[in-house]
Amino acid sequence: LTVLKNPNFFTLKEIEDASTNVKNYVEKNKKMPNTVKVGSKTLKISEFSYLSSKAISNLNSNNKGDILLVSGITNRNSSAHSFKATVYKAPYVDLAKKTISRIESKKAPSTYWSVKDTSGKVIGKANFNLYTYSFAKILDFHKSKNYLPNYCTFDSSAFTPAKKATSIKAGSSSIKKGDTYSVTLVDNNGKGLASQKVTFTISGKSYNKTTDSKGVASLKINLNGGTYSVVSSYAGSSTYKSSKLSQSVTVKDSNTFTLGEIEAAATNVKKYVDNNDVLPSTVTVASKKLSISQFSYLMSKAVYNINAGNKNAIALPSSLSSCKSEGDTIDATVYKAQYVDLSKRVLSFAESNKVPPVYAKVYSSSGSSLGNAEFDLYTYSFAKILDFHKSKNALPNYCTFESSVFKGIVVPPVNVSSKIPYNSSQFKAGLNEKNTETNLTKYLVGTGQSAITSSIKNLADQLTKGLKTTDEKAQAIYNYVRDEIDYSYYANSKHGASGTLSAGSGNCVDQASLVVALCRASGIPARYSHAKGCTFSSGLVTGHVWAQILVNGVWYSADATSVRNKLGNIQNWNTNSYSNLNHYAAVPF
C-alpha cells in the first residue's frame, strides 16, 4: 500500500531551504520576491510568510513536524513603515504567532505589525516585507545552528538599494571673465549623470544648475580678475550619494591670454600658412576671434616673455589697428638673439603707435642687415617659433625667414624670355615660377585628357612650323587656344584636348588640356595648375584650372580662358586670391 504525501504539507527542511533563498534574494535585490519555491511547489510570498511564521512557532515548542499550508491565502501590499531594532526571541515568536492567527482568520497577512521589546513596550512597526524577511533570517539561522537565535535584527534598510558613489570632475582652473565654468557629475563608472542639480558656491553666493545629457553643469562667471574658490556640490538622491569639489579658479580679463592659448593658436596659424601660402585675416584664441595684427602682437610679446623667463598671461592692448605688409624678399637664417631683439622692437613700435610695424629690420648674428621683414613674414616666423616652443618647451636656436615659403613668391630668374609678355608681379607658385624638377618626362607624354591624337599632332606641327625657339612655339600655341577656342562653362573635364579642338569651345579644364597636349606634341613640357578661391573680375569666386608651359627653365602661366590674358600674364582673375594650389601632369577630374 502506497501512501501519497499531501501536497499542501511541507517539511521543516523545505521551509528552511526556501527561507535561505528568500534571505539571499532580498540581500541581493533589495526587494521581496513575488513567489517562493518551497519543495517542488511555487507559492505566493504571503503563503511563504505563513509557513515561516508557523515553523518558528513550532520550533519554539520543539515541534519539527510537517506543516500544512492553509488554503485561500491572498497577498497584501506591504506598508511603508520604516523600522530598525533588535528584536529578541520572545517578541519575534509572539510576532510569528500573531501572523499565523491573522492569516488563518483573514486569509491574508497583516500589512504591518507593531513590534514590542521584552517588557511589552511597542518599539516600532515592521511592515509585511520586513517581518517576512526577518522570519526567513531566523529560519536560515536555525538551519545552520539547529536552534533559534536569541534575537533578530529588523532593519528596513535591507529594502533600500545601496546608493551609488558619485564624484565631480573639475573644470578648467583658468577662465576669462564672462565665460562659463563647467564641472562634470559622474557615477562610480565615470558615466555622466543627467538632470541632476549641482550647486556652485563662489564669493558667498550659491547658484543651482542642472546637468545636461553628459552630466555637465555650467555657470557663467562675470567676476573681476582674480583667483576664487569655487565649491561644486551635489546633494545626492535616492539612487546616488552626495559629492563635493572645491577648486581654485583664476578669472582673467577677457583680453588676457595664457601662453598655452597663444601657442595653440600659433600652431594653427603656422598650419594655415603652410597650406594656403597666406596669413589668415583673423585668429581664434581661446574661443575669441582676433585680427591678425592683434595676434601678431600677442606672439611677439610671448616670444619676448619666454626668453625673459616670464610665462604669465599676456594682456592685449585695448586698441590695436591693422597694418599693411611691405618689405624685402628675404631668405635667411635668423638666430635666437636676433629674433628676440626683433620681437622687442615690434612690441615697442606696436605699443607706441597702436599698430604693428609694416616691416621690421632683421639682422644676422654679426649685426649686418638681412633686410626688412614685412609684417606677414615676421608674424609667420613668430608663429613657427611658438609652435616649436609648444612641442619642445624651449625656444629654437634659430628660425628661417623665407619670403618664398610664406607667400609663394618666386624671384624672377635671370633667364626669363624677353619674347614672353609675362607679368613680373606674378612670379609666384602656380603662375610664373622657376623650375625645380629634374625629371620632366611626365610633362612631355600625352595622357588622359591631354592625349596626343593625330589631329592634335597635325595642329601642333602647323602652329610651330618655321619657328626656331621654344618661347616662339609656346607663344604660338597659347595664342591659338586663347583666340580660337571659345569659353564654355561646365564642371570638370568634358571633352579633353581633342574633343575641345573639334568642338571649338571648352571650360577652363578642357582649354588647359588643349594647351598641354599641343605643347607636349611639340616637345615642350607643360602641366596643369589647379587652385581654389580664385576671384574673377565678375565677382565669382571658384576653383580654376590653367596650364603652365616650361620655357628655358621657367614655368609660365598659360590661362587661355580670356582674351585679356597673355602668356605669363593673367588679367581676368585676382592672382593674389587663390589657395590650395596643386600641380598635375594629368588632370584628375
The model's pLDDT over 29-82, given as tens digits with 9 standing for 90+, comes to 999 999 999 999 999 999 999 999 999 999 999 999 999 999 999 998 999 899
Same domain, 202 and 110: no
Same domain, 501 and 477: yes
What average pLDDT does the chain have?
92
pLDDT of residue 238: 82
Residue 324 lies in a domain: yes
- The answer on pLDDT for 416 being more than 60 is no
Same domain, 376 and 489: no
**What percent of the chain clears pLDDT 90, i.e. is strictly above it?**
78
Question: Measured over all CA atoms, what is the biggest interatomic distance in the chain, rounded to whole angstroms?
Answer: 133
Same domain, 76 and 172: no
> What is d(CA 558, CA 516) in angstroms, rounded to the nearest whole number?
9
Domain boundary among 351, 372, 407: 407
pLDDT of residue 425: 78
Residue 298 lies in a domain: yes
Confidence band, pLDDT 50/70/90 cuts, at residue 423: confident
Nearest in space to 513 (alpha carbons), one of 489, 492, 490: 492
- The answer on pLDDT for 481 being more than 80 is yes
Q: Check if the beta carbon of residue 103 is closer than 8 Å to that of residue 67.
A: no
Nearest in space to 303 (alpha carbons), one of 361, 389, 365: 389
pLDDT of residue 171: 87
DSSP state of 232: E
Same domain, 130 and 175: no
- The answer on pLDDT for 157 being more than 70 is yes
Domain boundary among 143, 159, 175: 159
pLDDT of residue 418: 55
Residue 417 lies in a domain: no
Compute how many other C-beta atoms are within 10 angstroms of the C-beta atom of residue 134: 24
Q: Check if the beta carbon of residue 536 is closer than 8 Å to that of residue 572.
A: yes
pLDDT of residue 345: 97
pLDDT of residue 197: 97
The total of structural domains in the chain comes to 4
Domain boundary among 112, 143, 159: 159
Same domain, 16 and 137: yes
- The answer on pLDDT for 415 being more than 90 is no
- For 100-112, write each residue's pLDDT tens digit: 999 999 999 999 9
**What percent of the chain clears pLDDT 70, i.e. is strictly above it?**
97
Residue 419 lies in a domain: no
Q: Which domain holds residue 354?
A: 257-407
- For 535-566, write each residue's pLDDT tens digit: 998 889 999 999 999 998 899 999 999 999 99
For residues 511-529, average pLDDT: 97
pLDDT of residue 5: 67
Question: Which carries the bigger pLDDT value, residue 370 or residue 11?
Answer: 11
Same domain, 187 and 321: no
Same domain, 266 and 383: yes
DSSP state of 409: B
pLDDT of residue 289: 93
| 298-300-303 Cα angle (round to 5) | 105
- For 218-247, write each residue's pLDDT tens digit: 999 988 878 999 999 999 998 899 999 999
DSSP state of 448: G
Confidence band, pLDDT 50/70/90 cuts, at residue 411: very low
Question: Which carries the bigger pLDDT value, residue 514 or residue 332?
Answer: 514
Q: Check if the beta carbon of residue 55 is closer than 8 Å to that of residue 139.
A: yes
Same domain, 53 and 75: yes
Same domain, 435 and 574: yes
Same domain, 192 and 105: no
- The answer on pLDDT for 164 being more than 60 is yes
Same domain, 465 and 529: yes
pLDDT of residue 255: 85
